[in-house]
């Protein structure tokens, strides 16, 4: 099996982006809130601002969120395309993983 296969690599990248409690929390926060400044998120998490910024970068790199600079602040929100990809990926994987174990 080819481990550089696009769909496998992409799936792993998305899964890895979800692979930290802080990043899952950030996604949930962004899903609940309309306003989504970096500072808002930092207030809600027990992490330093720089650490939150790092996690935001990871989520952005994975294509799961967007960040739009507006004045002094940056407004973050979910990236619809990325979330769609996440969903289809998970459902595809889910259907592939039929239990063959007895």
Partner DNA sequence: TAAATTCATCGTAAATTTACGATATGTAAT
Partner DNA sequence: ATTACATATCGTAAATTTACGATGAATTTA
Report the alpha-carbon distance of residue 33 to residue 12 in Å, rounded. 27
Tell me which residues touch its own copies (CB under 8 A): 1, 3-5, 8-9, 11-13, 15-25, 27-31, 33-34, 44-47, 66, 77-80, 83, 86-87, 90-91, 93-94, 96-101
Nearest residue to 24 (alpha-carbon basis) of 74, 80, 89, 78 = 78
Distance in Å, CB of 47 to DNA, minimum? 4
Q: How far is Cα 65 from Cα 81, in angstroms, rounded to an integer?
A: 9
Residue 74 DSSP symbol: E
Residues numbered 14-53 forming contacts with DNA, rule: CB under 7 A: 16, 19-20, 22, 37-40, 42, 46-51, 53
The three-class DSSP label of residue 23 is helix
31 binds, among DNA, its own copies, none (CB under 5 to 8 A by kind): its own copies
User: Is the Cα dihedral 55, 57, 62, 64 positive or negative?
Assistant: positive
Q: Is position 11 an interface residue for DNA (rule: CB under 7 A)?
A: no
Would you tell me which residues interact with DNA (CB under 7 A)?
16, 19-20, 22, 37-40, 42, 46-51, 53-58, 67, 69, 71-74
């Amino acid at each position: 099996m080819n481990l550089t296969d696009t769909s496998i690599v992409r799936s792993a990248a998305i899964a890895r982006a979800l692979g930290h409690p802080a990043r899952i929390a950030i996604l949930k926060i962004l899903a609940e809130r309309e306003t989504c400044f970096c500072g808002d998120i930092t207030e809600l998490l027990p992490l330093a601002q720089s650490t939150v910024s790092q996690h935001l970068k990871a989520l952005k790199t994975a294509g799961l969120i967007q960040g739009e600079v507006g004045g002094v602040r940056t407004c973050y929100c979910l990236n619809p395309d990325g979330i769609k990809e996440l969903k289809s990926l998970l459902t595809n994987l889910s259907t592939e993983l039929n239990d063959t174990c007895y």
